[in-house]
């Protein structure tokens, strides 16, 4: 059962999520999505500051006054290559459309708004003081939106940040995530006829290839938890009979902490310089993105865990289960069993649920973990500044995972909407606990300070790099 307060907002929230799903937009270009959310929040009596951290689409919506300040983090960006028709159980791209909501961010942003509305009404009913802020955070998938907002100090006066993510499990996220740096390596050489005058040419594509070979040798001498990925973003042209005068690659370097990531990045840059020397080409390095590792907060994990128990998990009709079964059948069972959360307390129970149910219909208990999971999120930057924690709410069938066509297709289903509203309930109950027991905020802050061990937040993005958009 959902909190009855949602009766007031349910239709609006579902329609808002569907508007965002139907208008999938890239990071820092979420104009329709951001506008729809801002207009609704203004209508709901929130004070809104637009263009947060000069991101154009980022915003901060506020209600209430004084301390504590509780932040709910929302997202609304989509992914390239994932346009997909709703409800189809086979890959069905939409002609002429490039993007789709493969990570459920249309639900994420709207669920954060749901949480803020419910908490506001609960606070009013109980006469509680405090400030609720919704951070409309752009460009999570690509662009590092929250990192720019954290760099600008926008979370500095927050007492805690709570967020959620659409998932195929009901659980509290725990552990850390990797810090990462993404940049472009641009090599410039000299064009020449590849057969007639090769001695006059200096080949930029050779430099890209030699750099990749060098980095592949580096892999043997990195920590197991480090990752380096690359894409050749400009091979220099399609004519083999021309010595390529310009070529570009985009690298993504990941490690478990910011200092380690910066050191690994420096080693990759050294290899690039070596490739330029070997080929007698000129090298330009252009910084693109940087994300900090996530600092876990066990105090807030316990608060969200208790809120989840209070809210319960969504119940599903036979029709919804039939719908989910169609998507579950698109992925082999062994793949579903191998994609389960590491911090699960009872893996056998989870395995049984995956085998016997179409979707996660129970709360998966997790233990506290400090383990760094592979992958990065800009929630990490927020977690360095204020105690931060994330809940995962089931919105999709088993089978498929984040950034899959299956998640896009299920994005407007009743199951997705139930998960989104339930997320709002979990966030609101957790917020209510923190308002009623401010000593938990003190404890959460003490845990953050202990984990930072004297270090303070330093954004990985250099000061002269600003929010930008690359196709």
User: Where do contacts with Zn ion occur on this chain (CB under 5 A)?
Assistant: 103
- Shortest Cβ distance from residue 406 to Zn ion (Å)? 15
CB closer to Zn ion out of 113 and 245: 113
CB closer to Zn ion out of 103 and 247: 103
CB closer to Zn ion out of 17 and 299: 17
- Shortest Cβ distance from residue 292 to Zn ion (Å)? 17
Pairing label, strands 171-172, 179-188: unpaired
Whole-number Cα distances in Å, 432 to 107, 311, 325: 22, 13, 36
Pairing label, strands 59-65, 69-75: unpaired
Q: What is the largest CA-CA distance in the chain?
A: 84
CA distance between the termini of the chain: 43
**Contact status, residue 143 vs residue 467, Cβ threshold 8 Å:** yes
Q: What is the number of other CB atoms lying within 10 angstroms of the CB of residue 286?
A: 12
- Shortest Cβ distance from residue 17 to Zn ion (Å)? 14
CB closer to Zn ion out of 252 and 329: 252
- Shortest Cβ distance from residue 78 to Zn ion (Å)? 10
CB closer to Zn ion out of 102 and 467: 102
Burial profile 21-33: b = 16 or more Cβ within 10 angstroms, e = fewer: bebbbbbbbbebb
**Contact status, residue 228 vs residue 222, Cβ threshold 8 Å:** yes
CB closer to Zn ion out of 146 and 186: 146
- Tell me, what DSSP letter sits at residue 168? S
- Shortest Cβ distance from residue 74 to Zn ion (Å)? 11
CA 246, distance to chain mean position in Å, is 33
CA atoms of 440 and 297, how far apart (whole Å): 11
CA atoms of 258 and 256, how far apart (whole Å): 7
- Shortest Cβ distance from residue 386 to Zn ion (Å)? 20
CB closer to Zn ion out of 103 and 391: 103
- Shortest Cβ distance from residue 376 to Zn ion (Å)? 11
- φ, ψ for residue 62, nearest 5 deg: -130, 145
Question: Length of the chain in residues, anyone?
Answer: 471
């Amino acid at each position: 059962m959902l909190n009855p307060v949602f009766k007031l907002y349910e239709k609006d929230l579902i329609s808002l999520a569907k508007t965002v799903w139907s208008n999938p937009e890239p990071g820092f270009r979420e104009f329709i999505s951001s506008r729809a959310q801002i207009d609704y929040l203004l209508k709901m009596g929130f004070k809104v500051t637009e263009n947060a951290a000069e991101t154009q689409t980022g915003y901060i919506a506020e209600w209430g006054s004084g301390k504590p300040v509780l932040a709910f983090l929302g997202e609304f960006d989509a992914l390239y290559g994932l346009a997909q028709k709703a409800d189809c159980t086979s890959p069905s791209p939409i002609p002429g459309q490039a993007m789709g909501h493969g990570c459920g961010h249309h639900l994420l942003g709207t669920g954060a708004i749901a949480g803020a509305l419910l908490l506001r009404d609960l606070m009013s009913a109980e006469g509680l003081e405090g400030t609720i802020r919704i951070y409309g955070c752009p460009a999570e998938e690509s662009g590092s939106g929250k990192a720019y907002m954290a760099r600008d100090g926008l979370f500095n006066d927050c007492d805690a940040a709570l967020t959620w993510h659409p998932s195929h499990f009901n659980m509290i996220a725990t552990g850390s995530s990797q810090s990462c740096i993404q940049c472009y390596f641009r090599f410039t050489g000299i064009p020449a006829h590849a057969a007639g005058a090769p001695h006059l040419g200096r080949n930029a594509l050779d430099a890209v290839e030699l750099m990749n070979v060098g980095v592949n040798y580096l892999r043997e001498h990195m920590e197991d938890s480090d990752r380096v990925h690359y894409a050749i973003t400009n091979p220099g042209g399609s004519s083999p009979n021309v010595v390529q005068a310009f070529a570009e690659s985009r690298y993504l370097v990941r490690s478990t902490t910011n200092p380690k990531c910066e050191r690994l990045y420096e080693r990759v840059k050294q290899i690039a310089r070596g490739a330029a020397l070997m080929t007698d080409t000129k090298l330009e390095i252009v910084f693109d993105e940087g994300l900090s590792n996530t600092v876990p907060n066990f105090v807030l994990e316990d608060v969200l865990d208790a809120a989840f128990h209070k809210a319960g998990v969504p119940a599903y009709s036979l029709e919804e289960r039939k719908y989910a079964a169609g998507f579950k059948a698109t992925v082999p069972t062994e793949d579903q069993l191998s994609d389960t959360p590491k911090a699960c307390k009872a893996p056998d129970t989870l395995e049984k649920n995956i085998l016997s149910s179409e979707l996660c219909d129970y709360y998966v208990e997790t233990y506290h973990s400090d383990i760094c999971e592979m992958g990065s999120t800009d929630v990490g930057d927020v977690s360095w500044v204020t105690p931060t924690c994330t809940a995962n709410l089931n919105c999709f069938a088993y089978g498929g995972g984040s950034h899959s066509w299956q998640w896009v297709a299920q994005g407007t289903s009743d199951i997705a909407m139930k998960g989104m509203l339930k997320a709002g309930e979990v966030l609101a109950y957790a917020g209510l606990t923190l308002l009623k027991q401010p000593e938990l905020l003190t404890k959460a802050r003490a845990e953050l300070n202990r984990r930072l061990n004297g270090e303070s937040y330093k954004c990985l993005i250099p000061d002269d790099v600003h929010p930008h958009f690359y196709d």
